[in-house]
Structure 1
Amino acid sequence: MQQEVFLITIGDYMHVSKSSASNIIKKVSSALALLALSYIMMPRNENEVSFKRIQFYNKASLPRVIGSLDCTHIKIQSPGKNNAELFRNQKGYFSINVQTVSSTDLKIMDLVARWPGSTHDQTIFDHSNLKRRLENGEFGNSLLVADSGYVNTQHIITPLLTPGNEVEQLYNESVTRTKNPVERQYGVSKRRFTVLALGLQLKLETAQTVIVAVGVLHNIAIDKREQEPPLDQEVNLANIIYVEDTEVDPPDHNINNAREILLNEYFPASVRERREI
């Protein structure tokens, strides 16, 4: 209903019908989505990888990190047909589960917007081109930091659910602060483009296109140093922006994953340095 009112308002302002306004939005969104490869990108060379590592290290002294990984649910109308229920997430509404990787300046470096709301975050990553690129060594031994819904690997690190000593507590603190950009990115983009928070009453394919188009616009806004939108006092976005699916820490099948290496080699030295100060 809110989106219909929006289309009517835009149509009246531009002196076109609601259907014309809808068609224009669809065409413009498609044109913007075609620009995704030019505006949404992971580091392209060793210099850019090194620069991202420095940016993330400066946040919380976590080495080798080039991005913050997570998923967020974008509400949609029922897509209908036989697979409609696949889009109903665990909170009971229809959604697309959107995966993004954020940089420290909140730019979107990778975006996947094609999975139903019932899909687990780990499943989306497992089937992503990004995972293949990481495993193929395109970014060297770089890391992505994620929440405990992901499996720890040589390229993904997550926090410990129950840190038991000073080393583990320092690690968790560093991971939490380093992961913050992707959470802030969701908050900023959903305030800047409230349709992402309120929901898309569009056909499934069009909704997916709009999500990608908004990702392009979000990055352009950051490039142009647009001011972050303030918290909306009239529309309570808190529950939609920040409440995500509750996850549990999956078992680690590989004792040589990056988290174990950091806990055994890097953070003990960091704790010793902290004690000496």
Structure 2
Amino acid sequence: MYPLLGELTDDEDFLELVRQHERLRRPQTVRFRPNNFEKWNDVDFKKRFRLAKPIVNYLIEEISGLIASKTNKNHALTPADMVFITLRFLATGCFLQSVGDISGVDKSTTSRVITKVTRAIASLSKDFIKMPMGVEDRNSKAQGFYNICRFPRCIGAVDCTHVKIQSPGGANAENYRNRKGFFSFNVQAICDSDLKISNIVCRWPGSTHDSMIFRNSRVKAEFENGVYGNNLLLGDSGYGVKPYLITPLANPTTRAENLFNEAQIRTRNPIERCFGVLKRRFPILATGIRLNVDKVEAIVVSAAVLHNTACHFADPTPLLTDEIEAEINIGNNIGEHVPNDLGGINNSVRYSLIN
């Protein structure tokens, strides 16, 4: 009798193994991922992904080789899937789980995708974000600024804007708290008269002064070494005046000085508009990046690459809610002031322009 019971137990164990095997062989249930090019009309597509369909298609072609999965196992995401997940993240600034739910992938996968795609797009910056190096290119940029208010030789307007982040925690967290009291990266950019970004620096915590960022930048060293000839940058009073960096006068008294200030302020206005357009197109830069600080630079630079691409295609900026508009104004209005030299070589170029 006992051997019979033993055989019965063995049969039950065997059947359980068979059932487990069958469960393992069942195909994985994968949520349907829609073709977003077909699902949305042009208006709704732009509203959701912040770029027109031809630009997104162009982007997918540009970075497919950098982000494509090396296997089709487990229904791998396509490059298009990954680009749409990332654009939706840049457009909404929502938590990863929300983006993942929309795209049919889990939170951890969404995080990996956003990191992979933003780094791939940021790697294109050497081709999409660059200062004018040749004489012909510099003359073209200078003409664009001259057409605004007849300010000569200017090839770029420089300024900083704050990109909000979550508290990074740790001993250095307070370094990221800016003068407005929120945590941020202080991002320096230079743009041309058409609002295209020609230089961007995103590695400094929010407490860093604008002038400190410029003082330690490569572009400052290039101007010091004569790379851009006698061409100029325009900046606000957050920078000290230099022979190549022209700032407004703090206390203009004569008619000529007032006219100079008016021309300087109007001619450097593109950088303020550039920051506004950049944050309106990608609201996450205004509402806040809720990822580790080591991922912020790639996100910001990738947004700048996409901004320049949109400018190239003359893609209109999408509209935003009043709430996000208010967030944009907060990040762009953190004023700083550096006393200007009243004499010496740093001021001589400015007074030659006034006179």
Are residues 1:237 and 2:325 paired?
yes
SS at match of 1:237: helix
Q: Shift in Å at residue 252 of structure 1?
A: 0.8
Task: Provide runs of 4+ in structure 1 moved above 4 Å.
Answer: 2-6
1:169-204 per-residue CA deviation (whole Å, 9 max, x = no partner) reads 100010011110000000000000000000101101
Name the counterpart of 2:135: 46
Q: Which amino acid aligns with 1:42?
A: M
Q: Which amino acid aligns with 1:233?
A: T
Are residues 1:78 and 2:141 paired?
no
Change (3 A) 1:11 1:236: closer
1:24-70 per-residue CA deviation (whole Å, 9 max, x = no partner) reads 11110010111111111000211111111111111111111100000
Contact residue 144 and residue 193 of structure 2 kept, 8 A: yes
Q: Shift in Å at residue 209 of structure 1?
A: 1.2
Contact residue 3 and residue 201 of structure 1 kept, 8 A: no
Describe how 1:1-277 pairs up with structure 2 within 5 A.
Answer: 5-230=94-319, 232-241=320-329, 243-252=332-341, 254-257=343-346, 259-263=347-351, 265-268=352-355
Higher helix share: 2
Q: Shift in Å at residue 160 of structure 1?
A: 1.4
Q: Which amino acid aligns with 2:231?
A: S
SS at match of 1:47: helix
Change (3 A) 1:85 1:262: closer
* % identical aligned pairs: 43
Change (3 A) 1:198 1:54: same
Provide the TM-score with structure 1 as the length reference: 0.90
Contact residue 243 and residue 348 of structure 2 kept, 8 A: no
Contact residue 286 and residue 327 of structure 2 kept, 8 A: no
1:144-182 per-residue CA deviation (whole Å, 9 max, x = no partner) reads 000001000111111112211100010001001111000
RMSD, aligned CA: 1.8
1:51-91 per-residue CA deviation (whole Å, 9 max, x = no partner) reads 11111111111111100000001011122222111111111
Q: Which amino acid aligns with 1:15?
A: G
1:125-153 per-residue CA deviation (whole Å, 9 max, x = no partner) reads 00000001001111001110000010001
Contact residue 132 and residue 138 of structure 2 kept, 8 A: yes
Change (3 A) 1:82 1:3: farther
Q: Which amino acid aligns with 1:237?
A: E
Counterparts of 1:5 and 1:253, CA distance in 2: 48
- Number of residues of Structure 1 aligned to a counterpart in Structure 2: 264
Q: Say which is worse superposed, 102-111 or 236-245, in terms of deviation.
A: 236-245
Contact residue 190 and residue 241 of structure 1 kept, 8 A: no
Change (3 A) 1:4 1:200: closer
- In structure 1, stretches of 5+ residues that fail to align are 269-277
Counterparts of 2:156 and 2:201, CA distance in 1: 15
Counterparts of 1:192 and 1:68, CA distance in 2: 20
Change (3 A) 1:185 1:11: same
